[in-house]
Structure formats: structure tokens, C-alpha cells
Copies of this chain bind each other. A is one copy, B any other.
Amino acid sequence: MYFVDGLQYSNWTEKIFKEMNVAGLAAVHVTIAYHENFREVVTNISKWNNYFEIFSDLIIPGTCAADIDLARQSQRTAIFFGFQNPSPIEDDISLVEICYQLGVRFMQLSYNNQSLLATGCYESDDPGVTRMGKQVIKEMNRIGFVIDMSHSAERSTLEAIALSERPITISHANPVFWHSARRNKPDVVLKALAERDGMLGFSMYPHHLDNGSLCKLEDFCQMIARTVELIGVDHVGFGSDLCQDQPNSVVEWMRNGRWTKETDYGEGSADNAGFPPQPAWFSNSTGYPGIAKGLADVGFDNVDVAKICHGNWYQFFERSFGPEH
């Protein structure tokens, strides 16, 4: 069994890349921007170019589904870039294509706040996809650059699903029916996503889990079974939101960027401000084989386990990246 992870943002080191290889993680969508502007994101891509050079025996740049096969053949991991915020395209729609040329394949239309394109899930009101947002959706559709609405508010998310002519993703979130959190998604969103052939990546980030860090693997897998009952087995995968070995300054950057002089705690709180501990069964990517077993234990057959662990993402990558044929 091999795996595709629909979102990670770890403190990348050789150790982590080796764990990915050991886990059979053939592809990861990796965040390269939270609040960075264009020039700053280019510096982040430069950093990755350097990783690809230094760690060429462990990772490869991923730009199409076939790179997953290439990674598997050589027991490496293909890295697919994504933005959690549209800040890197600034107010310039032409930067969508430029970023695609630099290898970026996913972009959230908003992070937690209002962006130039859509509304984030921490705003009190959501006026929906903006004028520029509609233009950028069209451009992303043309190019084959995936729209991600993981952190967006409900109306914006539903509008993006409807406006986009190609399937979109919620790469890292869980259903509200299981654990009510601002970042988790109600049934109406999950159904709309699946009806348009989109993909949900289940998150293993404690704030998105029932019982948080103490969440049991069996409960997590039961939640997956219930979600499959709701939206079918073809539109779900994993998007772990793993932030391995990151210092707490990183979660502060995610939440506060440069937009506030006060402190925003996001999903945390003043007395629980840092990264929460990961559940015991997923402290890092090597937890994946155990999750595959957990899925079998709650009744999924081999075919469906494979779909959830990699097959659905593979097909989503195949139909999503690049111009439509």
C-alpha cells in the first residue's frame, strides 16, 4: 500500500523525507505560502529547488500525476506545491500562470481572513467570491491549477464549488457532524464538493479531531466510514495537516501573518497557543500504514482502502493539473 497526503507543512529535514519514504508516502501536497507575497514565495521555491538538489535520492518535484509513479518506482516522494492563501499572486492575475510555471498546483482562495478573492472561516460575515475571485477561478480552471477551500467560509466555499468548471478540493478538514470546529465542514459543503467530483482530505490535526490529541484511530476511521456513507468512497483521501517539528513561532505566523498587532489564537487559545500534540497513531508520516489497517478494521475492503490511501488523489491529480484536453 502506498499513500498520498493532501497537505503537510513540516519543518523539512532529511529525517522527515526519510520517514516519508519509509511510510510509502509517494506524494505530498506541501504548503509553501501562508502570507508570503510573490517575491517571498519565490524565495521559498528557491529553498525547495535546493532541497531537490541536495536530497535528490529522497524527493522529486511533483507537477503531474505521473510524478507519483516516478516517485514510487524510485522509492522517493513527489512534492506538490500549494499556497494556503492567495497572497503570492498579490493583485495580479497573471501571477497565477507564473506560479503554475514555477510548479505550484494548489491555491486556497482564502486563509482564515478575507482575501482579495474570498472569505476566510474566521470572518463574521461572508459576502462570497469577489469580482477578482471569479476571474481567478476562471484562470485557474484554464491553466489546471487546483482551487482549495480548506480555510474558507461556507458561502465562499459553496460559490467556488459552483463557479469552478473543474473539481476543487478541501484538502485538509473533517466533517462537522463528527467534530464541530470552525475549520471542519458541514454536510452541505461536503455533498456539494463530491457532487462536482471534488476531493476531501481528512485532517489529522488535533484541533480538527474529536477528542483532539486523544482521538482514537478507531474513531477517526469510523468517521471516515460515516463520511463515505454521506458522499461516497471516490471523493475522500488524507490531508494530514501535519506540522512536524515546527516551533510554535510557525503557528503564530500562520495565524497572525502581518495583518494584526494583537495576537490571534486561531483554533487555539491564550493558554493553548502552540501546536497541539499529534495523536499517538500519527506522530509523523510513518503512521500511515497503521491508518490503512484501521480502515480495514472498520470494514473497508482492499479496493476502498487503496482508493482512500492514494487512488482518489491520484485520479484527482490526473484530471486536475494542466489544461483540459
CA distance A98 to B42 in the complex (A): 8
The residues of B that contact A103 with a CB separation of less than 8 Å are 101
The residues of B that contact A98 with a CB separation of less than 8 Å are 42, 45-46, 49, 102
A49 near B102 with CB under 8 A, answer: no
Task: From B45, B49, B50, B95, give the contact of A42 (CB < 8 A).
Answer: B95
A267 within 8 Å of B (CB atoms) = no
A27-53 near B? 1/0 per residue, CB < 8 Å: 000000000001100110110011000
A97 within 8 Å of B (CB atoms) = yes
**A interface, how many residues as a size bin?**
10 to 19
A246 within 8 Å of B (CB atoms) = no
Interface set, chain A 206-241, CB cutoff 8 A to B: none
The residues of B that contact A42 with a CB separation of less than 8 Å are 38, 95, 98
The residues of B that contact A94 with a CB separation of less than 8 Å are 43, 46, 49-50
Dominant SS at the A interface?
helix
- Give A55 Cβ to nearest chain B Cβ, in Å: 16
Interface set, chain A 97-136, CB cutoff 8 A to B: 97-98, 101-103
| Known A-B contacts A101-B101, A102-B101, A102-B102; A95 and B39 likewise in contact (beta carbons under 8 Å) | no
CA distance A42 to B49 in the complex (A): 18
A-B contacts besides A101-B101, A102-B102, 14 pairs, CB < 8 Å: A38-B42, A39-B39, A42-B95, A42-B98, A43-B94, A45-B98, A46-B92, A46-B94, A46-B95, A46-B98, A49-B97, A49-B98, A98-B102, A101-B102
3 nearest CB pairs, A to B? A46-B94, A49-B97, A101-B102
17 A-B residue pairs with CB within 8 Å: A38-B39, A38-B42, A42-B95, A42-B98, A43-B94, A46-B92, A46-B94, A46-B95, A46-B97, A49-B94, A49-B97, A49-B98, A50-B94, A98-B102, A101-B101, A101-B102, A101-B103
